[in-house]
Amino acid sequence: MKKLDGKVALITGAAVGLGEGIAEVYAKYGAKLCMVDLSPEVEATADRLRKDYGAEIITYVGNVADKEQMKAAAAQTVKQFGALHIACCNAGVCRLAPFEEMTDEMRDFHIDVNIKGVWNSCQAVVPYMLQQGGGSIVIASSVTGDLVADAGEAAYAMTKAALVGLTKCLAVEYADRNIRVNCTQLGYARTPMVEKMAQESNPADPESAIRDIAVGVPMKRLAKPTEVGELFAFLGSDESSYLTGSQVVIDGGSTLPETMSMGTN
Ligand SMILES: NC(=O)c1ccc[n+]([C@@H]2O[C@H](COP(=O)([O-])OP(=O)(O)OC[C@H]3O[C@@H](n4cnc5c(N)ncnc54)[C@H](O)[C@@H]3O)[C@@H](O)[C@H]2O)c1
C-alpha cells in the first residue's frame, strides 16, 4: 500500500519546476492527479508520469487567477475520479525589480497569480472537500516574505507572506470539518523560476548567481523539486493527520546562520 493510494490530488503549476516534482512524487505514491498549468506543456509532463508510474492523470490548461477556470478544473477532477482529497496550490510567479521602479501592473500580476490564484484554487476545492467529509490543502508559500527577503522581491515577498495568513485562517475555519491546511516555506530549488531570477540578478553570469545561492546554504546545495514533492506528499497524506495551520520550512538550513563570518566552521 503506497502513501497516496486511493487519493485524488489537484496540483497547480504542474508543467515544470516544483509542480512537476510534486506531481512526480504524488504519482510515485499512487495518487490520481489533475495537473493544472497555464502552459500546454503540462500534457507532456503528465504523459511522462503516466509512462513512468502508470499514474491516472488528467490535465487542465488554465489560469489560477481565473476563478471560473479553477472551478472547472476541480469539477473535471471530481467528474473523472469521483472525489478530490488533496489540493497542492503551487503555481506562482516572481519578477525582480527595484521597489521604486516596480510598476503597479507588476505588483498586481503577483497579487493576481500568487494570492488570488491560491484563493481561487482553495475556493474551487473546498466545496467538494466539505461534501466528502474532509481533505488536505498544501499551499506553496516561501521563506521569502515571512522570514527573509532579498532586494527587488517586494511584490513577491508581500504575496508569499500573505499566504501564511490565508493558511492560518483556513486551517482554523475548517478544522472541525476535517479539512487541513498547511503551507510550505521553501528556500531555493533549481527550477525555471530560479534560473530566470539568476538571469535578472546577474545577466552576465547567471550560473554564478545560482552557485552563490548554495554558498549561503549550510547544506551547500539547492533543493531538488522531488525533495519538495516529498514534503507536499506528507502534508497531503493521512500521515500528517494532526498537522494543520503549520508553516513548514524546507531550506537546507538557509535561514539559520546568524552571520557568514562568526563561529568555528
Ligand atoms: N523555486 C524555488 O526556489 C522556490 C522557492 C520558494 C517558493 N517557491 C514557490 O514554488 C512555486 C513553484 O515555483 P517554481 O520555481 O517551480 O516556478 P516555475 O516558474 O519554475 O514553474 C511555475 C509553473 O507554474 C505555472 N504557472 C505560472 N503562472 C500560472 C498561472 N497563472 N496559472 C497556472 N499555472 C501557472 C508555469 O507555467 C510553470 O509551469 C511558486 O509558488 C514559487 O513561488 C519556489
Buried b (16+ CB within 10 A) or exposed e, 26-62: bbbbbbbbbbbbbeeebeebbeebeeebebebbbbbb
Active site residue 188: no
pLDDT of residue 265: 78
**For residue 261, pLDDT beyond 90:** no
Q: What is the position in ligand 1's atom list of the atom closest to the CA of 192?
A: 20
Residue with cell 500500500: 1
Q: 8-187+225-247 sits in which CATH class?
A: alpha beta
pTM beyond 0.85, yes or no: yes
Mean pLDDT of the chain: 97
Q: Is the CB of 18 under 6 A from ligand 1?
A: yes
Q: What is the mean pLDDT of residues 231-253?
A: 98
Cα 128–250–232 angle (5° rounding)?
25
Sign, Cα dihedral of 172, 173, 176, 182: negative
pLDDT tens per residue across span 29-42: 999 999 999 999 99
Q: What is the position in ligand 1's atom list of the atom closest to the CA of 160?
A: 43
pLDDT of residue 226: 98
Report domain extents, the chain: 8-187+225-247, 189-222
Protein residue whose Cα sits closest to atom 40 of ligand 1: 92
Quote the ligand 1 centre to 263 CA distance (angstroms): 36
Exposed (0-12), middle (13-18) or buried (19+): which is 261, by Cβ within 10 Å? exposed
Q: What is the mean pLDDT of residues 222-250?
A: 98
Q: What is the mean pLDDT of residues 101-114?
A: 98
Q: 3-12, 132-141, 253-262 — which is least confidently predicted?
A: 253-262
pLDDT of residue 260: 83
* Maximum separation of any 2 CA atoms in the chain, in Å: 59
